[in-house]
Amino acid sequence: MRVEPKKKKIEKHHLEDFVGRAYMSFCVLLLIVIIVSMVYFVASKGISTFTSGDVKITEFLFGTKWSPEGDTPSYGAFPFIAGSFLVTLIAALIASPLSICAALFMTEIVPGWGKKLLQPVIELLSGIPSVVYGFVGLSVIVPFLRNTFPGQGIGVAAGALVLSVMILPTITSVAADALASLPQNLKESSFALGATRWQTIARVILPTTFPAIMTGVVLGMARAFGEALAVQMVIGNAPFVPKSLFESASTLTSVITLSMGNTTMGSPQNNALWSMALVLMLMTFVFVLLVRMLERRNKI
Amino acid sequence: MQFRKTWVMALALTSVVALSACGNNNGGNNAATNNGGTNAAATNAPTETSSGADLSGSILASGSTALQPLVEQVAEKFMETNKDVDIQVQGGGSGTGLTQVAEKQVDIGNSDVFAEEKLKDADAEKAKALVDHQVAVVAIAAVSHPDAGVDSLTKQQLVDIFTGKVTNWKEVGGKDQKIQIINRPSSSGTRATFEGFALGTKTEDLQGSIQEDSSGTVKKMIGETPGAIGYLALSYLDDSVKTLKYDGVEPSVDNVVSGKYPVWAYEHMYTNGEPNEIVKAFLDYIMTPEVQTGDVVELGYIPASQMQVSRDVAGTVTKK
């Protein structure tokens, strides 16, 4: 009694398994190739500024004079690096308290309708295109700042305000997830000891979830650091370290988007822009490393 | 649960849409002013397959966003009469257009400036291979905030303002108000034209000056910022900003055509070597009176064919 055909036939679930694995491996491989080639492309273009001998790396990183079209061109990118850090830090300082409060509201104070109402609203914020943020900034925030503070309203303050709204959803959703994953018994024991809600939040919930919340803040900062269009529209784009928050300044992303299309590939200015892209990418790596470190510190 | 969540989202969406519909007028304006900076990568190319025309093939053009609307509009007309020709027009900026045409990635590179001005030093050889087709002229006027109180500026006054020597409008006969410069980025073709033919010198960026890269945003900023000065192509001028005379000459199409008003530049369409049959037909079509007096004028450019003066790459102006 030999069953001939059964031997040759591959079982259905084996086939599925094989196809699934092959498809998965293909996707992962493609992803790795894309990432590696992107890093390689930006790095090789970015480094060529320094290898071609046009600019010294110290001059690029710490020089304060950006005048690529001048008679003696100089490529000091410090104003842009400083501008990027400035707007990012201020945006995080504005957005973090707001986001953490929103997250607490959704998870601790009114977990029912608070979450149902607030979450879609905040998620909607992340779906708005950045050009819309830019125009709202230009039409609302800039005139407001112009009338309230000395200066033309344009500058780091306007950029940071626009960015803070843009990074709200990132910080809020990460913080809300962190708060929701907090074991219920921690809170219950705090309440059992007679602590008020405020004491529980301030002494138990926030300290325990601090690393996870900081993860959200760092992710938000990474987003702010890389945002180009909205910032470019409201920051003014003068290549100088600003003397005040209400004076025209630039970020790495704004100068790249402003000049990349107008310069020809391979020209020193174009290469310098790629070097800035490299700086941006390296900063993103730093942000990712920070997130990793924070995750390791996570106590829960 | 899932169902209810969807409802909340739908509700939120509709309310947002309703809100935006209320403010439609305002939003529409905003969207329109940004057109100059957006990159419409692909035009809606018709896909009719009917034959009848001799020409068939495709043309890819990229570069200047200032010239893009004209090329797009003419391309669509050209494709209507030549059904087998497919023309794609992309933006990206003059530098991108020149790079890509020099490397033969595109058939036509659109540029606001002469190729020799962008492809310099090591790339100078590349510029030599490019053939220039000047299809239109764009004139640029100095403009100020309506309340600055100045009607005309001399060349020297403009130089003083843009180099930071003069910082208050009263020094050039206007109100006692601080001057706020709204500039273009130093790599911009519009800025190169303004500096080259209005100021006669390159300027450094000043601390506190504002740089914007789309004409719409520049116009908005100048109209809203007290004491602002900047420059715009003639097609963008309206009542929200004050157009300044240059050395007493009104920036008008007639003055540009006759050569009285000097602040203008060609819009170039570069090909790498002599154009092939289809590209040549397309470029010839742009130079026909139908397009030059029709689309070119309609979109706010000045027809290159009507110019009574011409200018070479060194800036020397000769009467035709």
B209: which chain A residues are within 8 Å (Cβ-Cβ)?
236, 238, 248
Within 8 A by CB and 6+ apart from B64, the residues are: B91, B93, B94, B97, B110, B111, B112, B189, B267
The answer to whether the CB of B282 falls within 8 A of the CB of B78 is yes
Q: Whats the size of chain B, residue-wise?
A: 320
Question: How would you classify residue A237: left for phi > 0, otherwise alpha for psi between -120 and 50, otherwise beta?
Answer: left
Domain residues of chain B, as ranges?
Answer: 57-137+263-319, 139-258
pLDDT value for A298: 67
Identify all chain B residues contacting A154, using CB atoms and an 8 Å cutoff. Answer: 210, 221
Chain A residue with minimal CA distance to B224? A143
Round to whole Å and give the CA distance between A253 and A242: 16
Q: What is the pLDDT of residue B4?
A: 53
pLDDT value for A1:
54
Which residue among B30, B94, B119 sits closest to A135, beta carbon to beta carbon?
A: B30
Q: Of A104-108, A150-154, B11-15, B35-39, which one has max mean pLDDT?
A: A104-108
Interface ipTM > 0.85: no
Between B44-53, B163-172, B311-320, the lowest mean confidence (pLDDT) is in B44-53
Q: Indicate the DSSP class of residue B260.
A: S
Beta-carbon separation of A262 and B188 below 8 A: yes
Q: With contact defined as beta carbons under 8 Å apart, do B222 and B185 qualify?
A: no
Q: Does A258 touch chain B (CB under 8 A)?
A: yes
Task: For domain A80-254, give its CATH number from 3.60.20.10, 1.10.3720.10, 2.40.110.10, 3.40.1160.10.
Answer: 1.10.3720.10
- Report residues of chain A scoring pLDDT below 70: 1-8, 298-300
Predicted local confidence at residue B32, as pLDDT = 35
Token readout for B280 is 């040549």
Tokens of A262: 């107008």
Q: What is the CATH number of domain B139-258?
A: 3.40.190.10
Asked whether the domain spanning B139-258 has the same topology as the one spanning B57-137+263-319, the reply is yes
Determine the pLDDT at residue A113.
86
CB B104 within 8 A of CB B38: no
Strand partners, B108: B61, B271
| Contact indicator for B232, B138 with CB cutoff of 8 Å | no
The pLDDT mean for chain B works out to 81
Res B49: pLDDT? 37
pLDDT at A82: 94
Contact status of A262 with chain B (Cβ, < 8 Å): yes
Nearest to A238 among B120, B207, B220 (CB): B207
- Min distance B189 CA to chain A CA atoms (Å): 8
Q: What is the mean pLDDT of residues B292-299?
A: 89
- Residue with the bigger pLDDT between B45 and A70: it is A70
B27 pLDDT band, cuts 50/70/90, is: very low
Residue B185: the pLDDT is 87
User: Given this model, what pLDDT does residue B22 score?
Assistant: 42
Does the structure show a pLDDT above 90 at B43? Answer: no
Tokens of B275: 């154009």
What pLDDT is stored for residue A101 in this prediction?
A: 93
The pLDDT assigned to B47 comes to 37
Give residue B281's pLDDT.
92
Per-residue pLDDT reduced to its tens digit, A211-257: 899 999 999 999 999 998 899 989 989 899 998 889 899 999 999 99
Higher pLDDT, B7 or B312: B312
Per-residue tokens: B154? 């001399």
- Which residues of chain A from 10 to 49 reach within 8 Å of chain B, CB to CB? none
In this prediction, residue A263 carries a pLDDT of 84
> Cα torsion for B252, B254, B258, B262, to the nearest 10°?
10
pLDDT band at B40 (very low <50, low <70, confident <90, very high): very low
Direct distance between the N- and C-terminal alpha carbons of chain B, in angstroms, rounded to an integer: 77
Inter-residue contact B193 to B264 (CB < 8 Å): yes
Q: What is the pLDDT of residue A300?
A: 53
CA–CA distance, A85 with A160 (Å, rounded to integer): 10
Global confidence as pTM: 0.79
pLDDT at residue A4, as a whole number: 56
CA distance A260 to chain B (A): 8
Question: In B, residues 187-246, which contact A (CB 8 Å cutoff)?
Answer: 187-189, 202, 204-213, 217, 220-221, 224-225
The CA-CA-CA angle for residues B144, B147, B152, to 5°, reads 50
Bigger pLDDT: B138 vs B36 = B138
CATH of B57-137+263-319, one of 3.40.640.10, 3.40.50.2300, 3.40.190.10, 3.90.230.10: 3.40.190.10
Tell me the residue ranges of DSSP E strands in B175-284.
180-183, 210-211, 228-233, 242-243, 245-246, 264-272
The reply to whether residue B208 touches residue A238, judged by beta carbons under 8 angstroms, is yes
Query: For position B270, what pLDDT does the model report?
Result: 94
pLDDT of residue B18: 45
**Main-chain dihedrals φ then ψ at residue A139, nearest 5 degrees:** -90, -25
Q: Where are the beta strands (DSSP E) in chain B?
A: 57-63, 85-92, 108-111, 130-144, 152-153, 180-183, 210-211, 228-233, 242-243, 245-246, 264-272, 302-303, 309-311, 317-319
Q: Where are the domains of chain A?
A: 80-254
Distance, in Å, from the CA atom of A177 to the CA atom of A87, rounded to the nearest integer, reads: 26
For chain A, the distance separating the N- and C-terminal CA atoms, rounded to the nearest angstrom, is 61
Q: How far is A238 from chain B (nearest CA, A)?
A: 6
Q: What is the dihedral of CA B159, B161, B162, B165, to 10 degrees?
A: 90
Tell me the backbone φ, ψ of residue B63, rounded to 5 degrees: 130, -140
Flag whether residue A65 sits within 8 Å of chain B, measured between CB atoms. no
